[in-house]
Amino acid sequence: MSKTYHIINYGCQMNESDSEHFAGQLADLGYGYAQDFHQADVVLINTCCVRESAEKKILGKIGEMKAIKAANPSKVICVAGCMAQKDGEKLLRTYPQIDLIIGTAHVNNFRAIFQSYVNSKKKDKKIFSDLQNDPQEFDGSFVRKSSFSAWVPIMYGCNNFCTYCIVPYVRGRERSRSKESIIAEITKATLQGFKEVTLLGQNVNSYGNDQKQVNAFSDLLKAVDNIPGIERVRYMTSHPRDMSEDLVRTIAASKHICKHFHIPVQSGSNKIIKAMNRGYTREQYLELVANIRKYVPDAVVTTDIIVGFPGETEEDFAATLQLVDEVCYDVAYTFIYSKRSGTPAAKLTEQVPLAVKKERLNRLMELQNNNSLVRNQALVGKVLEVLVEGPSYNNPNIWSGRTDGNKLVLWPLADRKYTIGAKLNVKIEAAQTWLLKGSAQA
């Protein structure tokens, strides 16, 4: 009977991609997937430490492993990801049920690490958290969750050091993969039937900067756009400071690169933007939006906003509301600022009271929800091309898909059969804040 594994994933899309890498390497070693982690021979917890609230949840899950390990001492417990990178030694001391700590730079050589551990007689607990270790090119299998869409990391690490963010400290400095290896991975994915790829990096716009390349991300997008079999190319996350006019023109002229621009502004106040160490001004950001709408008139523009950053006054917040109203985003992902120990912002003295942050968030959400509805209502009566994702979560007779701009579209099954990953034209008949409804066209 073959041994089994179970992976518990927390955090961002890069973590989801890392978990697919871990799963592929375990599969290459002959391990099968176990639905229930209680029954698995290997349990890997891929962690996140962006917010302390997430850490508490993860620590609870690690704590659960104590009784499971006691019941089956041969079970291997691995803790990976950003929290493992940040607190590896502390975790190993506090939770003796852990066998291996896998830092963020050791995802692609996990197979060798794991194999060495299970083959050793002593079974010494070990920590692999050397951020100087360059990520090796992955030569194994993937166990991808989607049957049509693939995550493809193009770089690792971050050089930005936004004052509220822990990521550069746990992901290390930026290291770009070679263009050739990325193209080879995507080509292989298309041959396996994947229609959509999402290029991943903490700041994809700075791809190639560590190798002194000019316009490297733009050149990479052009190459990916021409891979036979590719239907859609997405990317995340972009930093407004590094999104050039050349890049916008490249996307506008492309055949398959999605016309969805996610450009996190975080605040509309120059004072707060500077305090966050974002590296641009409000005026420069608005110029970028103007360029996007100049070259891609039907672009979907989305953003991230943090409310209540230390020192944010009512005047600063009003500047954010004004910017949101001016840009009229399709979607804004809004967050209340929370202290993240280990970051410069956590030491700032002008912390905004929680009640004030909540009140401001409510005002921002009210404005943005109205803007989202207005943007979606403008699509009623139009026929949009969607990539079929399958039945909706709540009703097998209602199917779902996403537009080029990443808008969720629902339509009734009727008497037709749809192929997951195929393109379909849907006429939009109704709009809501977060989704569109319509009917499939012949």
- pLDDT per residue as tens digits for the range 104-119: 989 988 999 999 999 9
The CATH number of the domain holding residue 427 is 2.40.50
Pairing of strands 408-412, 398-403: antiparallel
Residue 403 is predicted with a pLDDT of: 97
97 and 203 in a common domain: no
Burial letters 326-358, b for 16+ CB under 10 A, else e: ebebbbbebeebbebeebbbbeeeebbeeeebe
Q: 341 and 195 in one domain?
A: yes
Distance of CA 187 to the CA centre of its chain: 22
Please state whether the peptide bond connecting residue 237 to the residue before it is cis, i.e. omega within 30 degrees of 0: yes
191 within a domain of the structure (yes/no): yes
Domain identity same for 38 and 72: yes
Same domain as 422, residue 367:
no
**Calpha distance 346→166 (Å, rounded):** 11
pLDDT value of position 417: 82
> Based on the domain organization, do 193 and 280 belong to the same domain?
yes
Residue 64 maps to a domain: yes
CATH number at residue 333: 3.80.30.20
Q: Which residues of the chain have pLDDT under 70?
A: 1, 132-136
Residues 300, 222, single domain; the answer is yes
Residue 133 falls within a domain, yes or no? no
Same domain (yes/no): 177, 263: yes
How many structural domains comprise the chain?
A: 3
The CATH number for 28's domain is: 3.40.50.12160
Question: Looking at the domain assignment, is residue 242 inside a domain?
Answer: yes
* Claim to verify: residue 321 and residue 421 sit in the same structural domain: no
255 and 171 inside one domain: yes
So what's the pLDDT on residue 132? 66
Tens-place pLDDT, residues 221-279:
999 999 999 999 999 999 999 999 999 999 999 999 999 999 999 999 999 999 999 99
Do 389 and 254 fall within a single domain? no
Range of the domain at 388: 383-440
User: So what's the pLDDT on residue 90?
Assistant: 93
Q: Indicate if 348 and 394 belong to the same structural domain.
A: no
Whether residue 138 contacts residue 167, with contact meaning beta carbons closer than 8 Å, is answered with no
Domain-located, residue 181: yes
114, part of any domain = yes
Domain annotation covers residue 135: no
Rounded Cα gap, residues 49 and 170, in angstroms: 9
